[in-house]
A and B are shown apart, each in its own frame.
Chain A
Amino acid sequence: MTRMCLARAAATATALVLFGGMALAEVESEDPIKLTLHDWTGQLITTNIMAAVLEEAGYNVELVQADYLAQFAGLETGDLHVAMEIWETTGREAMDAAVAKGGVVNMGETGMLAKEEWWYPLYMKEKCPGLPDWKALNDCAAAFATAETGAKGRYLGGPVTWGGFDEERIAALGLNYEVIHAGTDAAMFAELESAYQRKDPILLWVYAPHWAPQKYEGEWVEFPPYEAACYTDPAWGSNPTATHDCGKPFGPIWKVGWAGLPEKWPGADKAIRAFHIENDAMGAMIAKVDLDGQTVEDVVNEWMDANEATWSAWIAK
């Protein structure tokens, strides 16, 4: 075994020497641009498209698995270079903090809009006809209640780390509900799938772009629309003594990069800033991967073939 390995390694080394120099050059730096991968499909697609486009332009690209928030430590030091999806809803604070420290720059909007809010399957409207207006929630608390929440309705929130101010929202709006935090979004949607199969009551945090609103029929609860003042000024909204008496903010999904990137790879910087894709196109691609079982690679290749005109403009000199 060892001998075989050695022989192979030797062959590899020779081949690397022979062919290593043949890569197409003409980019500013041969160093790999490191893009981060997270654990949701949409982000994998966005990042893989960006990587494929940069490769078309001749850049050396490396995809690195990194945690959504932990990655800022790497982006600040230049260990990592590009994060393709920082959501206004969940990543804004971390992004602003990193930009303020220096080392990280906001590279503009991706064109996609993040939406997240309380969500219920359509069949719940029979049990709670007042929906989607949030004022109907208290009348139906019993319909959403379980053994451990007692008389209160059960709202399945995201992992604690997602934030979201749901406890504050419940208190401010006087809702008779209790937040049960799922540990991961896999656990959260496992519950949705299970309840949906049985047509059982469920009220949970759903976000888009994601496959869940594509697969299940349902609606978002309509809270008083978010304004910045609602989260900071108690006087705002129906409850004069509390903040968070409104829905969750909607907002763009941002691209973020290492501050040294524009200098080191100006062309790549331009391409990343030009990257633009919209919710519908992304939703369709996510559905292909998560619901039809295609690979991310195939879906990305398909998009690249179909949209050559679009992406070649991003990397045009």
Chain B
Amino acid sequence: MKTWPLIWAGLAVVALVLARAVAVPDGWLWPPQAMHLPLARWISAGMAWLTDSAAIGPVTVKDLTRGFARLIEAPYEAARVLLVEGITEGRGRRATTIVPPLSWVAVTVAAVALGHYARDIWLGLIAGALMLYLAVFGQWDSAMITLASIVIAVPLGVAGGLGLGIAALHWRPFERVLSPVLDLMQTVPTFAYLVPVLVLFGFGPVAALLATVIYAMPPMVRVTLVALRGVPPEIVDFANMAGCTPGQRMRKVMLPVALPDLMVGVNQVIMLSLNMVIIASMIGAGGLGADVLESLRRLNIGGGIEAGLAITALAVVLDRLGQALATRAGGGRGAKGNWLRRHPRTVLVLAVTLISAAAGYLIPAVQDWPKEWTVTTKGFWADLMQWINVNYYDQLEALRNWTLVNLLIPVKDFLLALPWPFVLGTVALAGWALGGWRLAALTGALGLFLAATGLWEQAMITLYLCGVSVLIAMCIGVPLGIWAASGETAGKVIGAVIDTLQTLPSFVYLIPVVMLFRVGDFSAMIAVVLYALVPAVRYTAHGLRSVPEELIEAGIVSGATRGQILRKIRLPMAVPMMLLGLNQTILLALSMLVITALVGTRDLGQEVYIALTKADVGRGLVAGLSVAAIAIIADRLIGAAAKGARERLEGGA
């Protein structure tokens, strides 16, 4: 195994020579035209057939999907009536409200009560305070529109994930088919399947809702599989002995036992649904996502930040309540007495709802938070931006130019000058070195797919932008992770910052970044780094914290300094975990591509975005699948490397 470093070094030299000195003949730099498969045309034709003429018996596929959309529309409309519109009579400007929607008072009290039920009054107060934030900053109406689609999307995602997970558990072939499909669902950029979703399910909020479900469901399927497989076999045997039917065994025994694990999946569904808020608003979901987009189009940065933080606030409320409910799940129910006594909080919420609805007719402030009471920080943000812009632009411009000239442009030129067979060979060789011939075949085949799409140039630009961004994200993220693991306070502060970074829609900081660094690759890189930083920090900190105490004590006993313990014990032990972090960083960087297309990059993300605006199904899906191919290559290679690292550690220990 000592020969590998030599081989890699040799390849690097060859690459440099190829890129710098050799004039590559036509057809060797980029895949020749003859190799391109008309994939986009095939997919578009297939899609047209599916929507126009495909039928199962007398029912066309389109009728089926439209019927499904109507089925979902009903509960969604009910949620909107409850949270947003109330019941009105008449139309447009002449509309009068007959029954108002839930007032802000009622929703806030419900949030407090749910927090109290799930854990304690402190959680309740936090949830209530965040709901008040929505009211005070004038985000209430939009937040309720978003909430109405979240309360439909999350149960759908959870139920769908649970169903697919259980099916895969019982039926092996299904699992084998499902697994790559899940990979694709998580790696194909959402924009790529928005157009097919629109065509199949119609324009409007329901299509947006379904796109959200597609995006948010995969983790639930995976968690379901893991959680149900993790149910101890003794418990399953016991259920069989007790004479449960398979259905009973699942409902009464396995699901309750796996509940705490399943709640992790529910949490993921909630977080991912909220991640989709902005993109969903582009195809008609409205709500906070639309507010963010509209504010930023007016360069109202403060407005964008406020609406963006409202999304974060909703995410935090739902996340914390979900986690508390998960730890509570399975806990005893001790209260006795009649229904009223057993459900004091439900009674309270019901009472507040009715009273506030009634009082709302007399005092409108109880129903709708009055406009005059809202606070805004708009002016502050605008002034801050202007101040930075006017006073520090020259320094920022110098930084930008330096990075462009010394890092971005050379890397880009280098990658674009490499002949494609060389890149393909290197990828396959890396697969062979890390995981044997199977991995080599997979990475080679995916590389060949990229060559056959005719998007080689865009793929290489993607590689360059993501590669540089990931490198920088790791350079910042790993030290931050080490710092976060060094103490309680540091951990908490850094934790809060990266939580915000993850839930705050990236569009919110994209526009200020453009104001300071102009459109182009540098701005895109900053946005990608900010977003992809999160797992680098999180996994590093987690890996360092979970190093066994005995090892550290052994280090202390043998007289190692703090620095030595970090370098010689904790960091090497944390390597497998940090590699997982790297893996996640790459996946997040790739998922940001479509967003950075909005500041004018020329990579696969731009290709997906162009296809979206032209409603070109085939083009979008081909570009989306190309992104997925890159993601899967990276994922498998790093996964194999992490496995190797773990085995070496265990072998050495």
A11 CA to B98 CA, complexed, in Å: 12
- Whole-angstrom CA separation of A170 from B23 in the bound complex: 30
Interface membership of B99, Cβ < 8 A = yes
Q: Which residue of B lies closest to A16 (CB)?
A: B87
What residues of chain B lie closer than 8 Å to A58, measured between beta carbons? Answer: 91
Q: A67-B615, A161-B610 are in contact. Are A55 and B600 (CB under 8 A)?
A: no
Q: Is residue B13 contacting chain A, with contact meaning CB distance below 8 A?
A: no
Contact A12 B82 (CB under 8 A): yes
Q: How far is the CA of A12 from the CA of B87 in the complex (A)?
A: 7
Q: Which of A19-61 contact B (CB under 8 A)?
A: 19, 22-24, 34, 36, 39-41, 51-52, 55-56, 58, 60-61
Looking at the assembled complex, report how far the CB atom of B158 sits from the nearest CB atom of chain A, in whole angstroms.
Answer: 15
Is A68 at the interface (CB under 8 A from chain B)?
yes
1/0 per position for B252-288, CB-CB distance to A under 8 A? Answer: 0000000000000000000000000000011111100
Are B89 and A187 in contact, CB atoms less than 8 angstroms apart?
no
Contact yes or no, B99 A40, CB < 8 A: no
Confirm or deny: A180 has a beta carbon within 8 angstroms of a beta carbon on chain B: yes
User: Pick the contact of A68 from B519, B606, B613 — CB < 8 Å?
Assistant: B613
Whether the Cβ atoms of B598 and A70 lie closer than 8 Å is no
Nearest chain B CB to A297 CB, angstrom units = 9
- How far, in whole Å, are A12 and B100 apart by their CA atoms in the complex? 10
Q: Which B residues lie within 8 Å of A19 (CB)?
A: 87, 89, 98
Supply 14 further A-B pairs (C-beta < 8 A) apart from A64-B203, A67-B283: A4-B353, A12-B81, A34-B203, A41-B294, A56-B94, A68-B613, A148-B409, A148-B520, A159-B600, A161-B609, A161-B614, A183-B600, A186-B297, A186-B299
Using Cβ atoms and an 8 Å threshold, which residues of chain B touch A61?
91-92
Distance between Cα atoms of A39 and B291 in the complex (Å) = 11
Among A24, A56, A187, A197, which residue has its beta carbon within 8 angstroms of that of B390?
A197
Q: Which residues of B contact A1 (CB under 8 A)?
A: 110, 114, 346, 349
Selected from B92, B404, B598, the residue in CB contact (under 8 A) with A52 is B92
**CB neighbours of B393 from chain A (8 A):** 194, 198, 200
B16 to chain A, nearest CB (A): 24
Q: Say which residue of A8, A65, A73, A185 sits within 8 Å of B82 (CB atoms).
A: A8
Within the complex, which residue of A3, A69, A190 is in contact with B346, where a contact is CB–CB below 8 Å?
Answer: A3
29 A-B contact pairs sorted by A residue (CB < 8 Å):
A7-B350, A12-B82, A12-B87, A15-B99, A16-B87, A23-B90, A39-B297, A41-B294, A65-B284, A67-B282, A67-B283, A70-B195, A70-B612, A74-B202, A79-B202, A79-B203, A147-B400, A147-B401, A156-B519, A159-B600, A181-B519, A186-B293, A187-B511, A187-B600, A193-B515, A197-B389, A197-B390, A211-B298, A290-B298
Does B89 contact A189, Cβ atoms closer than 8 Å?
no
CA–CA, A22 to B611, complex, Å?
A: 45
CA distance A290 to B297 in the complex (A): 9
CB-based nearest A residue for B353: A4
Closest A residue to B520 by beta carbon equals A180
CA distance A195 to B509 in the complex (A): 18
In contact, B612 and A183 (Cβ under 8 angstroms): no
Q: Could you tell me the distance between the alpha carbons of A196 and B57 in the complex, rounded to whole angstroms?
A: 63
- Does B350 contact A187, Cβ atoms closer than 8 Å? no
Contact partners of B598 in chain A: CB under 8 A: 183-184, 186-187
B599 contact set on A, CB distance < 8 A? 182-184, 187
Name, among A36, A65, A80, the residue most crowded by chain B CB atoms within 10 Å (CB to CB).
A65
Which of B93, B114, B401, B510 lies at the interface centre, i.e. has the most chain A CB atoms within 10 A of its CB? B93
Chain B: CB-nearest residue to A296: B294
CB neighbours (8 Å) of B220 from chain A are: none
Contact surface of B with A, Cβ cutoff 8 Å:
78, 81-82, 87, 89-94, 98-99, 102, 110, 114, 195, 198-199, 202-204, 281-286, 290, 293-294, 296-300, 346, 349-350, 353, 386, 389-390, 393, 400-401, 404-405, 409, 510-512, 514-516, 518-520, 596-601, 606, 609-610, 612-615
In the complex, are the beta carbons of B613 and A12 less than 8 A apart? no
By Cβ-Cβ distance, the 6 closest A-B pairs, closest first, are A55-B92, A65-B284, A70-B615, A183-B598, A194-B515, A183-B600
Q: Which DSSP category, helix, strand, loop or mixed, fits chain B's interface?
A: helix
Rounded to whole Å, the gap between the CB of B376 and the closest CB of chain A is: 9
B297:A40 contact, CB within 8 angstroms: yes
- Is the beta-carbon distance between B93 and A301 smaller than 8 angstroms? yes
Instruction: Give B115 Cβ to nearest chain A Cβ, in Å.
Output: 12
Q: Does A119 contact B (CB under 8 A)?
A: no
**A189 — which chain B residues lie within 8 A by C-beta?**
297, 299
Docked Cα-Cα span, A65 to B145, in Å, equals 14
Give the distance in Å from the alpha carbon of A1 to the alpha carbon of B511 in the complex: 39
A188, CB-defined interface residue at 8 Å? yes
Contacts of B294 in A (CB 8 A): 39, 41
Interface pair B519/A183, CB less than 8 Å apart: yes
Give which listed residue, B400, B404, B615, contacts A69 with CB less than 8 A.
B615
Our pick among B91, B281, B296 for the contact of A186 (Cβ within 8 Å) is B296
Query: A8 to B195, alpha carbons, bound, how many Å?
Result: 35
Q: Does A309 contact B (CB under 8 A)?
A: no
Q: Are A148 and B514 CB-contacts (below 8 A) given A186-B297, A191-B519?
A: no
Smallest beta-carbon distance A82→chain B, Å: 13
B313 to nearest A CB, angstroms?
Answer: 19
Most chain-B Cβ atoms within 10 A of its Cβ — which of A79, A161, A190? A190
B336 to chain A, nearest CB (A): 19
- Residues of A participating in the B interface, judged by any CB pair closer than 8 Å: 1, 3-5, 7-9, 11-12, 15-16, 19, 22-24, 34, 36, 39-41, 51-52, 55-56, 58, 60-62, 64-74, 79-80, 146-148, 156, 159-161, 180-191, 193-194, 197-198, 200, 211, 290, 293, 301, 304
A39-B294, A69-B614, A181-B600 are known contacts. Are A60 and B606 too (CB-CB below 8 A)? Answer: no
In the bound complex, how far is the Cα of B101 from the Cα of A18, in angstroms? Answer: 18
- A65/B286 in contact, CB under 8 A: yes
B87: nearest residue on chain A (CB-CB)? A15
Task: Indicate whether A191 sits within 8 Å of B514 (C-beta atoms), given known contacts A159-B600, A186-B296, A186-B299.
Answer: yes
Q: Could you tell me if B92 and A56 are in contact, using CB atoms closer than 8 angstroms? A: yes
CB within 8 Å for A183 and B609 given contacts A69-B614, A194-B516: yes
CA distance A160 to B603 in the complex (A): 12
Report the minimal beta-carbon distance from A151 to chain B, rounded to whole angstroms.
Answer: 15
Question: A72 is contacted by which of B282, B520, B615 (Cβ under 8 Å)?
Answer: B615
CB distance from B415 to the nearest CB of A (A): 18
> In the complex, what residues of A have CB within 8 A of residue B512's CB?
190
Q: How far is the CA of A16 from the CA of B606 in the complex (A)?
A: 46
Contact yes or no, A183 B606, CB < 8 A: yes
User: Are the CB atoms of B299 and A193 closer together than 8 Å?
Assistant: yes
Question: Contact at B615–A73, with CB atoms within 8 Å?
Answer: yes
**Could you tell me the distance between the alpha carbons of A186 and B598 in the complex, rounded to whole angstroms?**
9
Residues of B within 8 A of A70 (CB): 195, 198, 612-615
Q: Are A65 and B290 in contact (CB under 8 A)?
A: yes
Residues on B with beta carbons closer than 8 Å to the beta carbon of A147: 400-401, 404-405
**Cα–Cα, bound, A9→B77 (Å):** 10
Chain A hits for B102, CB < 8 A: 8
A9 / chain B contacts, CB cutoff of 8 Å:
78, 82
* B614 to A, closest residue via Cβ: A69
Whether A191 contacts B601 in the complex (CB less than 8 A), given A8-B82, A186-B296, comes out as no
Set of chain B residues within 8 Å of A15, measured between Cβ atoms = 87, 98-99
CB atoms of B520 and A22 under 8 A apart: no
List the A side residues contacting B405 at CB < 8 Å. 147
Closest partner residue, chain A, to B387 (CB atom): A197
Q: What residue in chain B is nearest A289 (Cβ atoms)?
A: B298
Do residues A190 and B515 form an inter-chain contact, with CB atoms below 8 A? Answer: yes
Contact in complex: A161, B613 (CB < 8 Å): yes
Instruction: For the complex formed, measure the closest distance between the CB of A175 and the CB atoms of chain B, giving whole angstroms.
Output: 20
Minimum distance in angstroms from B576 CB to a CB of chain A: 37
What is the distance, in angstroms, from B392's C-beta to the closest C-beta of chain A? 11
Give the distance in Å from the alpha carbon of A73 to the alpha carbon of B601 in the complex.
Answer: 27
CA distance A72 to B195 in the complex (A): 12
Given the known inter-chain contacts A70-B615, A182-B599, please indicate yes or no for A52 contacting B93, CB distance below 8 A. Answer: yes
Give the residue name and chain of the A residue nearest to B376 (CB).
A293
Query: What's the minimum C-beta distance from B470 to chain A, rounded to whole angstroms?
Result: 21
* A73 to B282 CA separation, bound complex (whole angstroms): 16
